[in-house]
Amino acid sequence: MSESVSDPLRYYAGNACATRNLLWCCAQAGVANFVFSSSAAVYGMPASGVADELAPTVPINPYGASKLMGEWMLRDHAAASGLRFAVLRYFNVAGSDVRGRIGPVTRNATLLTKVACEVATGKRKHLAIYGTDFATPDGTGVRDYVHVDDLARAHFDALTYLRGGGESVVLNCGYGRGYSVRDVLRAVERANGGPIPVVDAPRRAGDVPLLIADATKIRRVLGWVPRYDDIDVIIGSALAWEHRIDARTPRPTSGRVLEGAALPRPDSPHAMVV
């Protein structure tokens, strides 16, 4: 989020301009169903810290604003064309494939779980906690972390729903529970078998203190049933991936990683998932 504040045009280009171009291409190709990757950042700072799909969309950073623009374009194009869509508003996506096949390799990543696991495996010297004076139980930001495998399943379920005749819909993708930055770090330390170096730092522009999903609707509409709603499983899979890709740290993780079946491919010439 903070990166979008320092480089807003990059985010408007990627999330707004590119989405417009993609929708135009889909119109030319006759795409009938569209699953759109949006973000909980469209909500900004809900008063209670918990957002359902009817909560006001008042983003406080360019990332959230650019995602909301994508939603608007999709809505308006669908109204004019008959396209049916599912907007999935991601909360904090974390973890790696539980079978160890793929995972994040972004250089200079800013995602908390990725950075913490890089510190645990010696790729970084320390982790900075940006903001320790929020109005939360331990002073650090609280987020709803959703495992990437469960998120992948949500995409498949959304496309199945649309192909079955479902109406266009907007859905939160989260578990409905929050963990603070310090909660996440404790999970990393449990998985790592020891502490990691941490320093406190000032708040970053564009960060909110508390954001948790009301995920009632996605379970009702899609029948979505999360399999990895456990912070230790999320962190265990993330740390296992870091060990896998870094030959310098051969230590096995003590975190719990569960085996999961591979997702079937939602193949269709008339569907788009982005």
Rounded Cα distance between 82 and 77, Å, is 8
Distance CA 81, CA 225 (A): 32
Measured from the Cβ of residue 170, the count of other Cβ atoms closer than 10 Å reads 21
* Helix orientation angle between 62-81 and 18-29, rounded to the nearest 10 degrees: 20
Positions marked catalytic: 63
Distance CA 87, CA 176 (A): 18
Q: Is 39 exposed, middle or buried (0-12, 13-18, 19+ CB in 10 A)?
A: buried
- Residues of the chain by 3-state class (helix, strand, coil), percent to 5: 40, 15, 45
Report d(CA 240, CA 120) in Å as an integer.
11
